[in-house]
Every structure is written in structure tokens, then in C-alpha cells.
């Protein structure tokens, strides 16, 4: 690394930058080509880069070139790597890496573009963590596919690679089911001022989101909550509860006593059928089963649950939840998937293949890593984007306060872990719980610019991170976000240019 890295207004910060004299001033029509690609094919990365160029600067036009071009992509065969090399010369740009690496490099190229063109430099870069994620709760408020795509673009532009899609909760069921259409007709809707409020994603919607994510080399992780946070599903299928209902889709947030009955075979038939549909829809490695905030009140009084405890040789309701979660994990493993869950799934033991998402602080992540489980760190202390950003009276948000500098200071690998356990920290994720975000502008406002800080925590080497340098680069980065039409909070004041 040279001491010129601070002169590159790029977020997240690259591993290595060599700044050179001069700039590349793009012509009005940029030609982009992929070395070795058939001339009659428009490579997905070319299309993506062209889309971003138009979004960043409407005066820049682009075309896919067959021969000479100002921007040349050189693809390498290591498809597992997200590393890239970006060389900007006075006469053009050379970007090399795997397809995923070229997408990460294209995002860096967009971040460097300003009205004066691109600065001449050589960037050699790779991510620190394999999991660099953003979560979105669409259960409290349903957001259409075009909003999901805006988030996917933000994920890709910040060189992140995982989208955790929270698709079921007490307040709504958002994934269409062919086996159980009542989930679409009943569970996807709640009453709001006498009108049905909600919606769901069809299987065609999911396929569209997956195509969009795949082009950006983003893995989509679906979440279907169990055994708690199940009121929306129970509104359609009350027989899957301990009491038999009736139930309504929740209109308020909280933790509700009525959950899936762990003693009925019909519960597992339902959930396994749903998960089979999820597995068929989503090609990624992981399926998230929630596992958090499950009261045992109904289980204690339920003869079916008590019979299950006895039949399985369990001691209590806590072990019943562990058995429930393990059964779901075994089912997913039989389908070639890895189970992911919030850190409550640690209680009572886990399948060896389970991955833990640590949200109640870092202790769950530490315990899981020491047990040999892979971990995604996402503690409420740093990674919850529904928390307020400041103490200002007009600031929207929920619960506590996480200013951007607090998030930027976060270190995902706890000091107490030895080298062997630290290997299990896959990375870090920001969570967007939307109780107080009924509009998409509020979603963007609450995540930006904190997502910028998280991207640097996830991507950049820890020893290169510097708050003062980040603050300086952030001002230029906000100009990029503004030019691309995103809503954000100015880190020094409430941002009033975009009414909320």
C-alpha cells in the first residue's frame, strides 16, 4: 500500500492502491468489451456496468464492443474469488478477475467516477470476509420487487454479497405457496383501518429477484420463521397451534405466545412441505429458519407437546425447541442445504452443519465459534439499522441509538477467540427491521450512510480502517449516492433534500 490511498474517495477502502498522474476522461460513448467472449453475446457484467454508468451519469452512453474498447474486462477462471485488479490509464480501463471479481471491480469503478473523469491508478483488491450481508424484513411492510432491486444494487455497489430475505413473521407471510394457497389468501394480509394491508411475492417475483441478484453475484438467503413468530401462518392454519385458535395476522409487533405446536406430526408435514418449496425456488447454500423469541407457554400446557417431550426422551420445553430445530436442520441437510438461525438455536445443541447468526450481542457468536459452528456476526449493539442514528428529536427509528461512527468501529472477530475459532467467523450483516419504516424512502434513510460504514468493516483490512479518512471519503461517496437517486441521512444533520 502507498500513502496515496486516502486520495482515492472509494468506499469500501481497497486493500492496495497506487495512484498515478493523470485522468481518464471518458468519451460520450464508452465502448466495453469482454476479452474472449463470443461477439454475439452481451456479457452480464457489461450490461451491469452499463446500467450503473447511466444511473451515475446520464450523459455517459455505452455500447458492447467487439474489438477495441475504452473499458476492457479480462475474465479469470477462479470463480470462487471476489478479488479484482483495476487499472485506470489515461487512454482507458482494464478490469480483471473472475466474474464475481469483475462485478466488485465495476462497483469500485463507479465509485471513482466523478465529473472530472477517473483518476489514473492501479487497485489490487479482495474482501476480508466471505459473508458481507444485508437483511430486509418485508413482513411488517411489504415492498414490491422494484424496491428489492434497489437494495440489491446498494449491496452490489458496496461490494457486499449476501441478501437475507425475511419472508415470514407474525405480521405477514410473503412467499407464495402452491401447496398451501391459504398462505397467499389469508396469511399475507392484515387489517389496516378496515382495509387489507400486505402482499406476497409470487414464484415469478422470486425468480426475477434471483436473476437480478445473480447478475450482481449476490447470494439470496430466504428466512421462514419457526417455531415462533408464526401468527400469520396460524391465521390460515390454526390447527397447527397448540390451542386451535382462531388467530389473526398480527397488527402490532412483539412476541406472541401462540407458536407452532411441536407435538403434532401435521406441523412438521406443513413445515417440511414449505421448506421443500423454498429449496426448489432458492439455489443458494443456506436456508434461515429463524428460531428466535419462541415462548414455551403453550407448549407447557399442550398434551401433544408434553407427549413429544416424553417420546423423545427430552427433559423440558427448551430441549423440545432444540429437537424441533435439529429436525428442521436434518431435513434441510437432506435437501443439500445448510440451516442458518438466530443465536437462540444454540440452546440445547445443534446439528454440526448449522450456522449461527449472533444478534443478542456477541456472546452467541463466541460460543458457536468455540463449538466449531460457522457464525455471522450481527449484534444489536452495532448492526441493527432500525435503531436511531442520533439523539435529535426528529430522528426516526426504534429502540436504541447506533451512530455511524459506532458502527464503523465494530470489529467482527471477538478478541477472546483463538485462531482456530476465529476461522468460523464468516463475516458480518446489517439487519433492517421495518416496524417503523412504512415507506421505502425511510428504509433507505435508515440504512444510508450506515451501510457504507458496514461495507468497509466487512470488506477492508482492519488495520487500514481510519475514521477520519472514512469521513472524508464519505462526503464524495454521498455525492455518488445522490447522483444515483438514493435517499440518505447526512452524517452531520437530518438530510432534508428528500422529504420522508
Provide the annotated active-site residues: 169, 229, 293
Please give the full DSSP string across 302-350, using - where no structure is assigned: -HHHHHHHHHTT--SHHHHHHHHHHHHHHHHHHTT-EEEEEGGGGTT--
Residue bearing cell 452524517: 491
Spatial neighbors of 229 by CB under 8 A, at least 6 apart, are: 168, 169, 170, 255, 256, 259, 290, 292, 293, 294
- Number of Cβ within 10 Å of residue 246's Cβ equals 9
DSSP state at residue 362? S
Integer Cα distance of 414 and 405 in angstroms: 19
Integer Cα distance of 358 and 132 in angstroms: 14
Integer Cα distance of 174 and 455 in angstroms: 28
Q: How many alpha carbons lie under 13 Å from residue 394 in its C-beta half-sphere?
A: 7
Integer Cα distance of 231 and 229 in angstroms: 6
Backbone angles phi, psi at 195, to 5 degrees: -120, 145
Q: Is 214 exposed, middle or buried (0-12, 13-18, 19+ CB in 10 A)?
A: middle
Integer Cα distance of 137 and 433 in angstroms: 5
Integer Cα distance of 202 and 185 in angstroms: 12
Q: Rg of the Cα trace of the chain?
A: 24
Q: Does residue 16 contact residue 84 with C-beta atoms inside 8 Å?
A: no
For residue 157, give the nearest of 430, 498, 486, 429 by alpha carbon: 486
Please give the full DSSP string across 263-301, using - where no structure is assigned: S-HHHHHHHHHHHHHHHHH--SSEEEEE--S---HHHHH
Amino acid at each position: 500500500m502507498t500513502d496515496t490511498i486516502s486520495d482515492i474517495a472509494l468506499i469500501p477502502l481497497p486493500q492496495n492502491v497506487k495512484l498515478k498522474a493523470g485522468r481518464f476522461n471518458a468519451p460520450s460513448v464508452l465502448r466495453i468489451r469482454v476479452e474472449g467472449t463470443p461477439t454475439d453475446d452481451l456479457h452480464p457484467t457489461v450490461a451491469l456496468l452499463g446500467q450503473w454508468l447511466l444511473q451515475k451519469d446520464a450523459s455517459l452512453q455505452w455500447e458492447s464492443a467487439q474489438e477495441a474498447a475504452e473499458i476492457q474486462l479480462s475474465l479469470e477462471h477462479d470463480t470462487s474469488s471476489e478479488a479484482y485488479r483495476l487499472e485506470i490509464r489515461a487512454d482507458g480501463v482494464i478490469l480483471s478477475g473472475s466474474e464475481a471479481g469483475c462485478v466488485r471491480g465495476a462497483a469500485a469503478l463507479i465509485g471513482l467516477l466523478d465529473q472530472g473523469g477517473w483518476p489514473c491508478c492501479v487497485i489490487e483488491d479482495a474482501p476480508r470476509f466471505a459473508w458481507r450481508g444485508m437483511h430486509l424484513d418485508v413482513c411488517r411492510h411489504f415492498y414490491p420487487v422494484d424496491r428489492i432491486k434497489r437494495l440489491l444494487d446498494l449491496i452490489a455497489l458496496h461490494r457486499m454479497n449476501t441478501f437475507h430475505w425475511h419472508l415470514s413473521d407474525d405480521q405477514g407471510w410473503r412467499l407464495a405457496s402452491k401447496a398451501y394457497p391459504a398462505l397467499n389468501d389469508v396469511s399475507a394480509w392484515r387489517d389496516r383501518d378496515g382495509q387489507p394491508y400486505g402482499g406476497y411475492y409470487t414464484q415469478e417475483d422470486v425468480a426475477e429477484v434471483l436473476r437480478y441478484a445473480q447478475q450482481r453475484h449476490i447470494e439470496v438467503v430466504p428466512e421462514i420463521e419457526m417455531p415462533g413468530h408464526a401468527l400469520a401462518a396460524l391465521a390460515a392454519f390454526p390447527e397447527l397451534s397448540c390451542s386451535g385458535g382462531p388467530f389473526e395476522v398480527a397488527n402490532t409487533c412483539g412476541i406472541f405466545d401462540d407458536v407452532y405446536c411441536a407435538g403434532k406430526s401435521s406441523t412438521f408435514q406443513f413445515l417440511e412441505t414449505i421448506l421443500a418449496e423454498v429449496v426448489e425456488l432458492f439455489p443458494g447454500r443456506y436456508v434461515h429458519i429463524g428460531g428466535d423469541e419462541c415462548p414455551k407457554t403453550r407448549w407447557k400446557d399442550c398434551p401433544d407437546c408434553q407427549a413429544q417431550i416424553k417420546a423423545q426422551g427430552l427433559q423440558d420445553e427448551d430441549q423440545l425447541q432444540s429437537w424441533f430445530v435439529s429436525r428442521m436442520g436434518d431435513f434441510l441437510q437432506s435437501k443439500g442445504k445448510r440451516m442458518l438461525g438466530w443465536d437462540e438455536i444454540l440452546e440445547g445443541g445443534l446439528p454440526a452443519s448449522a450456522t449461527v447468526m449472533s444478534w443478542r450481542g456477541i456472546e452467541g457468536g463466541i460460543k458457536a465459534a468455540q463449538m466449531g459452528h460457522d457464525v455471522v456476526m450481527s449484534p444489536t449493539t452495532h448492526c441493527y439499522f432500525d435503531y436511531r442514528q442520533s439523539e435529535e428529536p426528529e430522528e426516526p427509528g426504534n429502540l436504541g441509538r447506533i451512530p455511524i461512527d459506532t458502527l464503523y468501529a465494530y470489529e467482527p472477530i471477538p478478541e477472546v477467540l483463538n485462531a482456530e475459532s476465529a476461522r468460523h467467523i464468516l463475516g458480518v450483516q446489517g439487519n433492517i427491521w421495518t416496524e417503523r419504516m412504512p415507506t421505502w424512502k425511510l428504509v433507505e434513510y435508515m440504512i444510508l450512510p450506515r451501510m457504507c460504514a458496514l461495507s468497509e468493516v466487512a470488506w477492508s483490512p482492519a488495520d487500514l480502517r481510519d475514521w477520519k479518512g472514512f469521513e472524508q471519503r464519505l462526503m464524495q461517496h454521498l455525492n455518488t449516492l445522490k447522483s444515483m437517486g438514493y435517499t440518505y441521512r447526512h452524517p452531520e444533520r437530518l438530510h432534508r433534500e428528500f422529504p420522508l
